[in-house]
Amino acid sequence: MTMNNELRIDALLPADMAAKAETIGVKKANLDVASMFVLAVLAGAFIALGAIFATTVTAGAFGSTLPGNATAATTWPTGWQRLLSGLVFSLGLILVVVGGAELFTGNNLIVMAWANGKVSTRLLGLNWLVVYVGNFVGSVATAVLMLWTRQYEFSGGQIGLQALTIANHKAGLDFWQAVMLGIMCNALVCLAVWLTYSARSTTDKIMAITPPITAFVAAGFEHSVANMYFIPMGMLIQSTASPEFWATIGRAPADFANLTMTNFLVRNLIPVTIGNIIGGAVLVGAVYWFVYLRKRGE
């Protein structure tokens, strides 16, 4: 067997990863709009599946979600709750990367191809716009489907209470706090995607994705596409749940007063999106472009 035909299992080095990121960016930017939109809807649904997983496995096990149980908070520390939530939330990006889908936050890395002149500003903007809208559609549609399943009523309503608690917290953030949390989040998300460019196998990709995604969830950072599911899900439960559900969890809709459309958009989605772009496109994409891809003078 010649050297050119040998099986290579070693990970790509950063310079090769940068070249691969550029190639992938060009391919993503040149997708036809219909395919781009459908793949973006899938990505929104995939991230929502990760959010559903995280909400479900952390519901009812911790003090913050057990009304009237003062001792539950000592059963399992908040840090362990966040770690578990992050580990299972990783499902979303694994589905996006391995299954193939278009995610707005990950597509911030297209700036590496744009900065090198391989993608026009028009194509970059079109990709971000179409993918963002598609992600929104996929996330919200998944929230509607989940509402119809009434899964939030399971476990004595604790899943619904967890969903409400998560959404209410996110919708109550300060604008600049949300921007900064968004920056930190997408720096980690894009680092996860960046690491997958070194991978030679599906196993490599999964192992590269899991630690950074777990870190951003555990740290409480904000992901715009995930929030397209988390907050609408809370709003849907708040506005449609039966009196029996509220009696079961010992709460009332007024206890989740942050769940308004204005708060969703102004205090979360807009600032978090701004932060995600800075964290992904600037702190990761632009930095790696500068180091590995920029044209240097002779």
Summarised one tens digit per residue, pLDDT across range 67-85 is 444 333 334 457 888 999 9
The residue type of 203 is T
Rounded distance between C-alpha atoms, residue 296 and residue 33, angstroms: 34
Per residue in 86-113, pLDDT tens?
Answer: 999 999 999 999 999 999 999 999 999 9
Which pLDDT score, from 0 to 100, does residue 297 have?
60
Tokens read off for 45: 């649904």
| Residue 16 covered by a domain | yes
Q: What is the CA radius of gyration of the chain?
A: 20
Identity of the residue numbered 53: F
Q: Is residue 3 part of a domain?
A: no
- Domain-located, residue 298: no
CA neighbor of 103 nearest in space, from 179, 32, 211, 190: 190
| pLDDT for position 66 | 40
- 96 neighbors 209 (Cβ within 8 angstroms): no
Mean of all residue pLDDT scores within the chain: 91
Domain count, the chain: 1
What DSSP character marks residue 72? G
| Assigned domain for 267 exists | yes
Question: What domain range includes position 137?
Answer: 12-293
Residue 5 has pLDDT above 70, yes or no: no
- Domain membership of residue 19 (yes or no) is yes
Query: Does a structural domain hold residue 237?
Result: yes
User: Residue 2 falls within a domain, yes or no?
Assistant: no
Residues 6+ apart with CB under 8 A from 294: 115, 116
Domain harbouring 109, CATH code: 1.20.1080.10
List the structure tokens of 286: 């632009």
Looking at the predicted structure, is the pLDDT value of residue 134 above 70?
A: yes
Q: Could you tell me the CA-to-CA distances from 250 to 56, 215, 228, 255 in Å, in that order?
A: 19, 32, 27, 10
Q: How far is CA 142 from CA 155, 221, 298, in A?
A: 21, 22, 53
Residue 4 lies in a domain: no
Q: What is the rounded distance in angstroms from the CA atom of residue 230 to the CA atom of residue 228? A: 6
Selected residue with higher pLDDT from 1 and 98: 98
Mean pLDDT, range 292-298, rounded to an integer: 77
User: pLDDT of 22-81, one tens digit each?
Assistant: 999 999 999 999 999 999 999 999 999 999 999 999 997 644 444 444 333 334 457 888
